[in-house]
């Protein structure tokens, strides 16, 4: 069984990588940026190459599903490089291919605002997937960059699902019919995503999990209800874990550079702060407890394996390129 976390926003360092290993993670998608333009995003990718170099005993950056298998077989954690916004494209359609060459494998179409691709879940009205957005989705399909709709608005999400010829993901959100919140996804979106082979990463993030964040067993209950809604093949885990994320990091995610007014993201003026860690999931070392909770909740063995990582592995095999560009080895 592979453990996969569909999305983390942690500030990674050797300690956090060690936690990934202690939790037995085969693969995690990391957040390389939110608001950075193309050059800033390249800085972030360059920093990840240094992190990989310095922690090669613990992690490896994966470019293909086969890479994930190989890295996991080594006893290391495969890192998929992702962005929670498509600002890295800086509006250039040809940059989809360039950033894929640089190893980017997961891209959320927008983060919290309307952009040139489409609308976020916080924007009203929702432009839908724009002309540039449709070309971007097609390019992401072509180059093997997974499309993430987590913070994306309703109409844009539905149109992206329809326009994409590959399955798409919601890496970190919950069903809005279970926990009403703008960040969560309507049954229409989730059923459309499932019908096309996509995967939802169920989160435990307090602001979007409501009462299901209370314990590992309420979380397992949310997973079970989500499976009832869209089927066992389409539910995975996307913790949205933010290890070592400070209030300043959170402010940057929410505020970016687009607004001079206070912005609260999934929080609110009365709930502006960083959420305390979940006692039952302080970091990825608690992944095995999720497996046990699912089993305790009545999931059979194939279902436990599907949720813990199998569905993500199938999704990556469907979507990522078959062969990655060779990264030149670094001379010492």
Contact set with a copy of itself (CB under 8 A): 35, 37, 87, 90-94, 113-116, 119, 122-123, 125-128, 130-133, 135, 139, 256-261
Euclidean distance between CA atoms 166 and 134, whole angstroms: 13
Q: Give CA separation, 80 vs 26, 85, 157, in Å.
A: 11, 15, 22
Q: Nearest approach, Cβ of 187 to a copy of itself (angstroms)? A: 23
Go through 116-151 and write b for each residue having 16 or more CB atoms within 10 A of its CB, e for each that does not. bbbbbbbbeebbbbbebbbebbebbbebbbbbbbbb
Q: How far apart are CA 32 and CA 46, in angstroms?
A: 10
Least spacing, CB of residue 235 vs a copy of itself, in Å: 32
Distance of closest approach, residue 70 Cβ to a copy of itself, in angstroms = 34
What beta strand segments (E) does the chain contain?
Answer: 3-5, 25-31, 59-61, 77-83, 104-108, 146-148, 169-170, 199-202, 235-237
Which of 12, 111 has the CB closer to a copy of itself? 111
CB of 152 within 8 A of CB of 118?
yes
Is 137 within 8 Å of 116 (Cβ atoms)? no
Question: Which residue lies nearer to a copy of itself by CB, 131 or 326?
Answer: 131
Select 41 or 64, whichever has its Cβ closest to a copy of itself: 41
CB of 183 to a copy of itself, least distance (A): 16
The maximal CA–CA distance of the chain, rounded, in angstroms, is 54
In the complex, least distance from residue 188 CB atom to a copy of itself, rounded to whole angstroms? 18
- Element spanning 288, H or E: helix 287-296
The distance of closest approach from Cβ of residue 114 to a copy of itself in the complex, given in angstroms and rounded to an integer, is 4
Nearer to a copy of itself, 134 or 297 (CB): 134
Residue 47: how many CB atoms within 10 A of its CB? 12
Under 8 Å between Cβ of 129 and 117: yes
The rounded distance, in Å, linking the Cα atoms of 208 and 200 is: 14
What kind and span of H or E run contains 221?
helix 216-230
Q: How far is the CB of 116 from a copy of itself (least distance, A)?
A: 5
Judged by beta carbon, residue 257 or residue 328, the one nearer a copy of itself is 257
Nearer to a copy of itself, 5 or 126 (CB): 126
Residues 232, 306 contacting (CB under 8 angstroms): yes
- Bridge partner list, 268: 271
Gap between the Cα atoms of 32 and 86, Å rounded: 11
Compute the least distance from the CB of residue 56 to a copy of itself, in Å.
Answer: 35
130 versus 186: smaller Cβ distance to a copy of itself: 130
Choose between 256 and 288: whose C-beta lies nearer to a copy of itself: 256
CA 49 – CA 169 distance, rounded (Å)? 25
Complex with a copy of itself: residue 159 or 233, whichever CB lies closer: 159
Q: What is the smallest separation between the CB atom of 315 and a copy of itself, expressed in angstroms?
A: 26
């Amino acid at each position: 069984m592979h453990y996969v976390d569909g999305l983390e926003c942690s500030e990674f360092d050797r300690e956090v990588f060690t936690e990934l290993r202690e939790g037995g993670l085969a693969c995690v998608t990391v957040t390389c940026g939110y608001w950075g333009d193309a050059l800033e995003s390249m800085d972030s990718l360059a920093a990840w190459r240094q992190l990989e170099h310095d922690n090669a005993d613990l992690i490896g950056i994966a470019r293909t599903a086969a890479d994930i298998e190989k890295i996991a077989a080594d006893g290391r954690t495969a890192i998929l490089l992702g962005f929670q916004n498509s600002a890295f494209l800086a509006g250039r359609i040809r940059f989809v291919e360039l950033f894929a060459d640089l190893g980017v494998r997961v891209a959320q179409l927008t983060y919290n605002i309307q952009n040139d691709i489409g609308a976020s879940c916080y924007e009203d009205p929702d432009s839908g997937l724009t002309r540039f957005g449709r070309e971007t989705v097609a390019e992401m399909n072509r180059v093997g960059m997974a499309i993430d709709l987590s913070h994306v608005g309703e109409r844009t999400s539905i149109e992206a699902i329809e326009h994409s010829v590959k399955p798409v993901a919601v890496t970190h959100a919950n069903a809005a019919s279970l926990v009403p919140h703008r960040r969560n996804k309507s049954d229409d979106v989730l059923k459309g995503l499932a019908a096309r082979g996509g995967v939802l990463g169920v989160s435990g993030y307090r602001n979007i999990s409501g009462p299901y964040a209370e314990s590992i067993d309420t979380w397992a209950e949310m997973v079970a209800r989500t499976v009832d809604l869209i089927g066992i093949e389409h539910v995975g885990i996307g913790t949205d874990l933010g290890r070592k994320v400070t209030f300043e990091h959170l402010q940057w995610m929410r505020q970016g550079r687009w607004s001079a007014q206070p912005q609260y993201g999934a929080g609110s003026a009365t709930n502006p702060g960083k959420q305390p860690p979940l006692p039952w999931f302080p970091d990825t070392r608690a992944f095995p407890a999720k497996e046990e909770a699912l089993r305790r909740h009545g999931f059979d063995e194939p279902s436990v394996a599907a949720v813990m990582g199998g569905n993500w592995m199938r999704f990556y095999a469907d979507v990522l390129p078959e062969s990655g560009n060779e990264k030149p080895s670094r001379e010492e």
